[in-house]
Amino acid sequence: MEHPAEQSDLFEQFREQIREAIMQRLEALSSEGRQLSPNQIQDLIHNLPRLTEKQVTDLGHKDSMCPICLTPFAALLAEEEMAVAMDSPALPIEELGVARLSQEWQCGHLFCRRDISRWIQDSHDSCPMCRRALMRRSEGDTSPPPFPGPPHDDVNGLVFDPEDLPQDIQELFARMTAGGPAGSFTPMFIPPSSTESRRDDRDEYAGMYS
């Protein structure tokens, strides 16, 4: 049986592989939109709300995962909670947790803060999921708008076909979304249905960072 620290390292490696593969796919699908200015990038990231567990649940995403890194929101919230309690967290606090594109002109999609912040820092001016604009369109702007996004209560989907990913990433994607063989990261990738078992799994996940 793998030591918790070793399992945590493997999880982070797999998570980064998934993130890079999906980011590359999103970049390929992204149209040549307008580039964000440094001030717009700063404002967008600064205004991303930091969601609580209750807010994620109330939005209907208790069992959802980030559509970019495929990490369950429950695990992201547990990671953030542990980092706040640590003197020297592995990642900056501002990169942890769950964020939502919540402005009235935005689509309402949820992401892990690290991934949506990186997307914005790369100067993309639309949601990676639906291409709805991140910035409010000014009056007199005659450029064509991105095509409309889904309703705010739409569940997170995927903007790619898993079969388009490299074979090793396909296998990892299937393992993450189906639970994989017994003992293979199941608590991190299959959020439990009951509140009690969910808390147990959050504690188990958090133990990897202690």
Between helix 167-178 and helix 4-29 the angle, nearest 10°, is 120
Residue ranges per structural domain of the chain: 4-136+145-207
By the 8 A CB rule, do 102 and 49 touch? yes
pLDDT by 10s per residue, the chain, length 210: 555 555 566 667 777 777 777 777 666 666 555 678 999 999 999 999 999 999 999 999 999 999 888 889 999 999 899 888 887 777 778 889 999 999 999 999 999 999 999 999 988 888 988 889 999 876 545 444 444 444 433 434 444 555 555 555 556 556 655 544 333 333 333 333 333 444 444 454 445 444
